[in-house]
Amino acid sequence: MSVKVRDADGEVRRLRGDLVSTDERGVTVNAGDTNSGEHVDYDQIIKARTVFEWGAAPKPDKRAKKKQQKEVAR
């Protein structure tokens, strides 16, 4: 998740990390190496978006491939 926020003193900054939780006041984002997370009120959020992290595609199952080849040969 990427969140652009404006602090109480007017400073704009961006948090990028995992969405930990939400409640009626705002969201908690785990941005950085800390496990505690940072709570941001909804009225401080300027912009928020989801960031997808795509991993490597899983390797195909060899048994399934052989079974499919047998079915095609019939």
CATH number at residue 11: 2.30.30
pLDDT at position 39 over 70? yes
**Radius of gyration (Cα) for the chain, nearest Å?**
22
pLDDT at position 10 over 80? yes
Note the pLDDT tens digit of each residue in 45-69. 999 999 888 888 777 777 766 666 7
Other CB atoms within 10 A of residue 40 CB: 20
Residue 29 lies in a domain: yes
Separation CA 67–CA 1 (nearest Å)? 41
Q: Which helix (H) or strand (E) holds 12?
A: strand 12-16
Number of domains in the chain: 1
Model pTM score: 0.64
Residue 44 lies in a domain: yes
Q: How far does CA 1 lie from the centroid of its chain?
A: 5
